[in-house]
Amino acid sequence: MTKSLVGHSKDLGDNFVIRRVLPAMEKRSVGPFVFFDHFGPVPVVTGEELVVRAHPHIGLATITFLYDGVITHRDSLKVEMDIRPHETNWMVAGSGIVHSERSKFDPKYEILEGIQTWIALPKDKEEIDPSFEHFSEQEIPVLTKDGLVFRLLGGSFLGLHSPATVHSPLIYADIEIKQSADGVHWVLSDKEEAGLYVSRGAIESNGESYTVGSMVLFEKGTAVSFKAKQNSRLILLGGEPLTEKRHLFWNFVSTKQETIERAKERWAKDEFPKVPKETDRIPLPT
């Protein structure tokens, strides 16, 4: 029987609901991915449906991808960038970065919905300098065939190579597939594992049915195999797992607990760099 995870719902306030899939008790990570949130869909009425005040990260890269709506990203590198559907924001925290995320009203979109993931950096790159990359829809490699659109958001797969800077071998993709499309059978290498998340619609994989909120897991050297039962939207993620255990606390990821403790102290003492235009920040959890 194929293994899978089911996201659990969390209300972040003002009825802004997310589904958190990673980390899970059954599996803490998929490849280098240690965190997976599906946020929304929520109706956009005021444009202030999502307000995430300034907060820090270390030891990871965050990727934001939207299905609907607009989010403004600001960070301590003085980057201010709106992200829209079919675009990606890649933020490498490394030794430490602070950012905020706020939804924005745009009459083109009636809802806000998207995916945010975290990738743990390799041990020797956990404390590299922070950086930010934004990729437009035109910069993202796309593979199309009857009833299938495959957008490679990061890494390399199916002969495509993303322009996003990655620090370990990985796969990250957005998939649109129609019910009429042929079944999919993509073979992973002996070093790669993967997860296939159902954002919209429903699929069948190895005789089991999966609906919104489920992530099907595929072991190293097996095949990502599925058929759409409805017109569906999926996220494929994975790659080579990192060998060392990761400690996670709040927004901090590291192979060393003492690095986490130092980051907690830095935030408590307001020693992280500041985000322009952001006067409020999220306090350290107690």
- Binding site: what residues are annotated? 55, 57, 99, 101
Q: Count of CB atoms within 10 A of residue 93's CB?
A: 27
**Partners of residue 145 on adjacent β-strands:** 148
Binding-site positions for Fe cation read 55, 57, 99, 101
Q: Is 6 helix (H, G, I), strand (E, B) or coil?
A: strand
Task: Give Cα 127 to chain centroid, integer Å.
Answer: 20
Measuring CA to CA, which residue among 179, 184, 170, 181 is closest to residue 34? 170
- 123-148 per-residue burial string, b: 16 or more CB within 10 A, e: under 16: eeebbeebbbbbbeeeebbeeeeeee
Q: Count of CB atoms within 10 A of residue 272's CB?
A: 19
Q: CB of 98 within 8 A of CB of 54?
A: yes
Report the C-alpha gap between 96 and 253 in whole angstroms: 11
Amino acid 250 reads W
Report the C-alpha gap between 25 and 28 in whole angstroms: 6
| Size of the chain, expressed as the number of residues it contains | 286
Burial class (CB in 10 A: 0-12, 13-18, 19+), 26: exposed
Report the C-alpha gap between 123 and 128 in whole angstroms: 10
